Structure 1
Amino acid sequence: MAPYTIRKYQDQDREVVMDMFIKGLLTHVPSAFFHLLKQPRSILLLLSVPGALFLGSGSLLLSLLALPGLLVFLWMAVRYPFNWYVDHALHTDMKDIRKSYLSDKGSCFWVAESEGQVVGTVCVCPVQQASRRQKCLELFHLSVSPEYRGQGIAQTLTQTVLQFAQDQGYDVVLVNALCFNYPAQRVYEKMGFWKSHEAFDSLKWRVIAIPFFYYEYSVPSSL
């Protein structure tokens, strides 16, 4: 296991960080696709459309040819919210990482570095929720390069966030994870987060039947 260190983001990290962010997010697409295929609505679609074509035309070939088209349609439907999220991030917080996360002491962006190479990222920024008076910090973009996973880097990055939250006087750290992102869920739960609820982040995710698990961490007082 190669040694690694955690440090704040620097401008020369941008190209590697952006590549890791985009590839890390899009690697979830196949899992999301298979998750969608197991949903009753997808099974019904894959059975009913070819069946209707066969009954209407009497052509078995036509009904069989419909299956690849339906699978491509479902694949594109799954990719859409991931592509949208990437595009949205590239035009908002990830457009200028320093301005978004390093211009205010209440937010930060860290990278994990091993042998001079950036191999992991995480960032945080304050959030306000009308339903609570607590001072909340939200964790974003936790990612580790595939070849460096299983070495505890994600846990160390998360621990860095929790220590930052305590030092800055936050009460709660919030984070969410895709329902099938079990490695991230294990990290959060191991670090003391608890699942507060499950919900669809938006209509885009509801359409493809992928909810998010929302987690909270109660920051111990530094006093």
Structure 2
Amino acid sequence: MAPYHIRKYQDQDREAVIDMFIKGTLYLVSFGFFHQLKQPRSFLLLLGGPGALFLGSGSLLLSLLALPGLLAFLWLVARYPIKNYLDHALRTDMSDIRKFYLNDRGSCFWVAEKEGQVVGMVCACPQKMAPGGQKRLELLHLSVRQEHRGQGMAKSLTQTVLQFAQDQGYDAVVLSTLSFNNAAQRVYEQLGFWKAREAFDSLKWRVTGMTFFYYEYSVPSSH
């Protein structure tokens, strides 16, 4: 297996980084869809909708045809907040990576490179309105190309952020991840993150029933 190395983002990485960010974010839609299917209200919709249609029309064919439409509706419900998050990021911090992450020594953006190709990424910046006057670093946009997962790359990228936090004198590293993103949660928990709380990020996530796990990591003193 060819080795990979982690380095700071360079301007020529932009195309590969944006492509990976888009694909990695949209990859979560399928997990969100199956999460939707497990919700009691989705079960009632899929069972009750065709049932009510059959009782009202007397047509079994019509009620069966309604099922694919309802599944498509649930797919769109799952996709909406994830696509909204993606579009917002592309308009804000990901629109100018150098400006948002590399012009301030308290922030940074890293990529994992393998055989000359950018195959992983992560970034971090100071958390806004950190409680208790703490100096907290927020880990964002951790992503590894699908064909390169399972090689420890996500763990190495996260460790890079933790080392940066220690070097910069941060008190803690924080992050949020969707409750059904089990692979990411395993990485964070193996590295010593602990789940501080579970909550809906906003109304659009509440409507879909998708909650976030908020993780924290206490940075050991470098002194």
Identify whether the pair has TM-score above 0.5, normalized to the shorter chain.
yes
Map of 1:52-67 to 2, 5 A cutoff?
Answer: 52-67=52-67
Partner of 1:34: 34
Q: Which runs of 5 or more residues in structure 1 are unaligned?
A: none
Q: What is the letter of the counterpart of residue 10 of structure 1?
A: Q
Partner of 1:12: 12
Using the TM superposition, give the Cα deviation of residue 30 of structure 1 relative to its aligned residue in structure 2, in angstroms.
0.9
Work out the CA distance in 2 between the residues paired with 1:217 and 1:171.
Answer: 9
Partner of 1:45: 45
**RMSD value, Cα:** 1.0
Partner of 2:117: 117
Indicate the SS of the match to 2:95.
coil
Partner of 2:128: 128
Indicate the SS of the match to 1:189.
helix
Using the TM superposition, give the Cα deviation of residue 130 of structure 1 relative to its aligned residue in structure 2, in angstroms.
5.5
Partner of 2:213: 213
Work out the CA distance in 2 between the residues paired with 1:129 and 1:41.
Answer: 36
Partner of 1:155: 155
Using the TM superposition, give the Cα deviation of residue 62 of structure 1 relative to its aligned residue in structure 2, in angstroms.
1.4
Give the alignment's TM-score, normalised by structure 2: 0.97
Residues 38-94 of structure 1 show CA distances to partners (whole Å, capped at 9, x for unaligned) of 110000111111111111111111111111111111111111111111110110000
Using the TM superposition, give the Cα deviation of residue 155 of structure 1 relative to its aligned residue in structure 2, in angstroms.
0.9
Work out the CA distance in 2 between the residues paired with 1:110 and 1:57.
Answer: 58
Using the TM superposition, give the Cα deviation of residue 149 of structure 1 relative to its aligned residue in structure 2, in angstroms.
1.2
**Distance 1:130-1:163 versus aligned 2 partners, 3 A rule:** closer
Partner of 2:70: 70
Using the TM superposition, give the Cα deviation of residue 174 of structure 1 relative to its aligned residue in structure 2, in angstroms.
0.3
Partner of 1:92: 92
Using the TM superposition, give the Cα deviation of residue 209 of structure 1 relative to its aligned residue in structure 2, in angstroms.
1.1
Checking the alignment, whether the CA contact within 8 Å between 2:130 and 2:136 is kept in structure 1 is: no
Work out the CA distance in 1 between the residues paired with 2:164 and 2:36.
Answer: 37
Work out the CA distance in 2 between the residues paired with 1:183 and 1:51.
Answer: 37
Using the TM superposition, give the Cα deviation of residue 131 of structure 1 relative to its aligned residue in structure 2, in angstroms.
3.4
Residues 169-216 of structure 1 show CA distances to partners (whole Å, capped at 9, x for unaligned) of 100100111111111101100111001111111111111111111100
May I ask how many residue pairs the two structures share in their alignment?
223
Work out the CA distance in 2 between the residues paired with 1:36 and 1:132.
Answer: 36
Checking the alignment, whether the CA contact within 8 Å between 2:9 and 2:111 is kept in structure 1 is: yes
